[in-house]
């Protein structure tokens, strides 16, 4: 049985496309059951439509309970088992967190807990760290604070620019996200407090 994934995005959608590629290639025993965007003109949403995937725009202004209820209904309607945030620029509230407790992943372009929030790659570059990277984590009510599932390290080069660094991190994101989803849908993990570990 293929796991049913729901993607939430706000922009470009390259992580969504990488996940989709992994499902098509059979690297991931999963299918994307629906894509939801909170921007009508998100390139990722337009791509999803072109690809013939069920794709929805849900406005996320105003009453969070109302719009999350709408999203949760769509995810339920498509029998989504795991929600993957892929560049979704909104903090989740209790409606989604409760309905999909322990079943929401996010990818962040930094080695958390360093550099949460916006422009993480540039934050890391400005700080002067020698290693940057990306993190897949379970989602909780905070900003990039949930338990870490997987990380990939990307060295920062002396002649890097924020853009060049972000591009190399993105390459790793595309690989890491599919791997982490596989790990989660195959239920290969146990959680002890914040620590997500491989089942023995």
Kindly list the catalytic residues: 108
Q: How far is the CB of 32 from ligand GRF (least distance, A)?
A: 13
Tokens of 135: 């993190």
Element (H, E) at 65: helix 64-77
Element (H, E) at 6: strand 3-9
Q: Is 5 helix (H, G, I), strand (E, B) or coil?
A: strand
Q: Which of 68, 140, 160, 173 binds ligand GRF (CB under 6 A)?
A: 173
**Residue showing the smallest CB distance to ligand GRF in the complex:** 87
Footprint on residues 46-105 left by ligand GRF (CB under 6 A): 86-87
Does 14 participate in binding ligand GRF (rule CB under 6 A)? Answer: yes
Size of interface with ligand GRF, in residues (CB under 6 A): 14
Closest CA to 176 of 128, 115, 124, 106: 106
Q: How far is the CB of 120 from ligand GRF (least distance, A)?
A: 8
Tokens of 52: 């013939």
Quickly tell me which residue has 């013939």 as its tokens: 52
Residues at the contact surface with ligand GRF, assessed by CB under 6 A = 9, 11-15, 44, 86-87, 107-109, 170, 173
């Amino acid at each position: 049985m293929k796991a049913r994934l729901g993607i939430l995005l706000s922009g470009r959608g390259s992580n969504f496309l990488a996940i989709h590629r992994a499902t098509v290639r059979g690297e991931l025993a999963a299918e994307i059951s629906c894509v939801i965007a909170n921007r009508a003109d998100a390139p990722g949403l337009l791509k999803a439509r072109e690809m013939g995937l069920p794709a929805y725009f849900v406005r996320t202004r105003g009453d969070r309970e109302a719009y999350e209820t709408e999203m949760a209904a769509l995810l339920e309607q498509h029998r989504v088992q795991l929600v993957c945030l892929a560049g979704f620029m909104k903090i989740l509230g209790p409606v989604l967190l409760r309905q999909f407790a322990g079943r929401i992943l996010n990818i962040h372009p930094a080695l958390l807990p360093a550099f949460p929030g916006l422009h993480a790659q540039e934050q890391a570059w400005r700080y002067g760290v020698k290693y940057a990277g990306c993190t897949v984590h379970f989602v909780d009510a905070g900003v990039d604070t949930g338990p870490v599932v997987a990380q990939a390290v990307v060295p920062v080069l002396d002649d890097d620019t924020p853009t060049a660094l972000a591009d190399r991190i993105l390459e790793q994101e595309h690989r890491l996200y599919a791997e982490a989803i596989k790990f989660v849908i195959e239920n290969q993990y146990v959680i002890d407090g914040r620590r997500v570990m491989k089942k023995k």
